[in-house]
Structure 1
Amino acid sequence: IFIKAPFKNTFDISNHIERWTELFGDEYVSAEVLSREGNEITFRLTDDENKSWVSKRWLHPEQKYAYASRHDPMFPFKYMKIIWLYHEQDGGTLMTWIQDFEMDPGFTKFSEEQIEGFINEHSVHNMKIFKKVIEEDAAEVTKK
């Protein structure tokens, strides 16, 4: 999604874990940073069904990307890895999300294809919220 905001604003806001309850709409009821060490952030997300998990995120602003992986509990995934890419363009930043995952064989509620569909649908919706929030924030900074 193209965000009409400078790279620094886009990167900083999109990786501000504590704001993810706002940035992801109603997907997360809690986003808690557990530790920060160098460029690594360990955090816990809790969804609207009160399920929570711990993930790690590594920020690489110089290379214009952030990388994350889910850690505990892994279920319903065998693994879940996410990379967010940021490309500076005239007038803003192109933000791209890539998610690589495999479902745990014990998870039978939905097929892997259905989960991929859910993730893609949610990602499109969530990126629109990110765009709105980041652009509004950048406009406020410009006014000051």
Structure 2
Amino acid sequence: MEKNYDFFHGTLDYLFIYHHNRAYCHLFLKNYQAGITDCTNLLEFKNISKKKYSPLFSFDEIIGIKYHLEGLHRKAIRSFKKVDINRLNEREKTYIYYFISLAYRELHDDSKVGLYLKKLRISGNELAIAQNTNYKGGELNEKFQ
């Protein structure tokens, strides 16, 4: 993404996508402070007229990611659950379910982790995140290559 920095900073839409994808990457890589910075940048878009850009992602999702990165897992779950799942494609649903499962894992709620991983596998059965995420004995094992 950094290689195409100028492209992503060409329009507000691309800049929104840039920070959203970076927030995802930082969450996956556990670079929490950098992810919080990207989420903060995304939340600044709420103050921009929607005529100037297309809000392609739910602010509830962005707030949920930020809460998760800050260690506020109950708040993260509440934000993720506000996202209108019916408006999402299967890939987007898969990631929401994954993020919810991560938050429940931090809260040691194994039954909810299992529930959301099951939903994740149904929504994104062909995605690497669904194929490489297992939950056994209270441990979430992620095998991404």
TM-score, normalised via structure 2 length: 0.28
Greater strand share, structure number: 1
TM-score, normalised via structure 1 length: 0.28
